[in-house]
Chains A and B, each alone.
Chain A
């Protein structure tokens, strides 16, 4: 299933034209758990559809959602590489916070999602970009985990710090997930 729309130009943010006055949504995406990431992306897309400006700040384990699926082990030092081995990046490798069972849980969850036509995290991430959702990687986490821009998917903003996230959060609804 694809959510692609006919005119990518329309992509330039549903948020831009509509109802700016409704106040934005800022999500501080700290968790890299499958179910939390899924919820983050559902909320981001819905808020964008409601005409709200949406920003997601990806930090700590949450940042690994933005790593390219095809990327192997990331990191520069042995510790960063070890961590990345235990926690590989990309939407296709997200784990459940409970009932993970070495990946059996997520596999069943994805199979159920497919059966019931629930959009996958990857589809929702792609749509979020189309809808003009701002995706901001946390600079500090990138350095700590040895991630480079080349490790991250296209369409994300320049890495930034907490001040950028909090500035976007001014007057907006803010969720810490």
Chain B
């Protein structure tokens, strides 16, 4: 299982629903089990990524925050 991030997606400054939509698009280009890292500033994205992970089945591996930037690491289901 991959432990390094295959792709970083920068959606800082973007509002709902762009972070989720772009993540879904990026997921298409990953292989099963690969990791994508998403950097966002939208405070709503914390709940949204949890909900998105639950619905799609892609695992939310990590949620963290530093200097107002949220970092989500998601693993493509496979």
- Interface residues of chain A, those whose CB is within 8 Å of chain B, are 1, 3, 5-7, 10, 14, 17-19, 22, 42, 45-46, 48-51, 116-119, 127, 130-131
Rounded to whole Å, the gap between the CB of B51 and the closest CB of chain A is 8
Rounded to whole Å, the gap between the CB of A24 and the closest CB of chain B is 13
Do B15 and A45 touch (CB < 8 A)?
no
Rounded to whole Å, the gap between the CB of A20 and the closest CB of chain B is 11
Rounded to whole Å, the gap between the CB of A115 and the closest CB of chain B is 11
Would you call B1 an interface residue if the criterion is a C-beta within 8 Å of the partner chain's C-beta atoms?
no
Residues of chain B within 8 A (CB-CB) of A1 are 14
Do A51 and B55 touch (CB < 8 A)?
yes
Residue of B18, B25, B27 near A130 (CB, 8 A) is B25
Do A50 and B56 touch (CB < 8 A)?
yes
* Main DSSP-derived SS at the A contact region: loop
Would you call B57 an interface residue if the criterion is a C-beta within 8 Å of the partner chain's C-beta atoms?
yes
Do A119 and B15 touch (CB < 8 A)?
yes
Rounded to whole Å, the gap between the CB of B77 and the closest CB of chain A is 9
Residues of chain A within 8 A (CB-CB) of B26 are 5
Given contacts A19-B57, A22-B55, A118-B15, contact A49 B28 (CB under 8 A): no
Do B15 and A51 touch (CB < 8 A)?
no
Given contacts A18-B56, A50-B52, A50-B55, contact A42 B17 (CB under 8 A): yes
Residues of chain B within 8 A (CB-CB) of A22 are 55
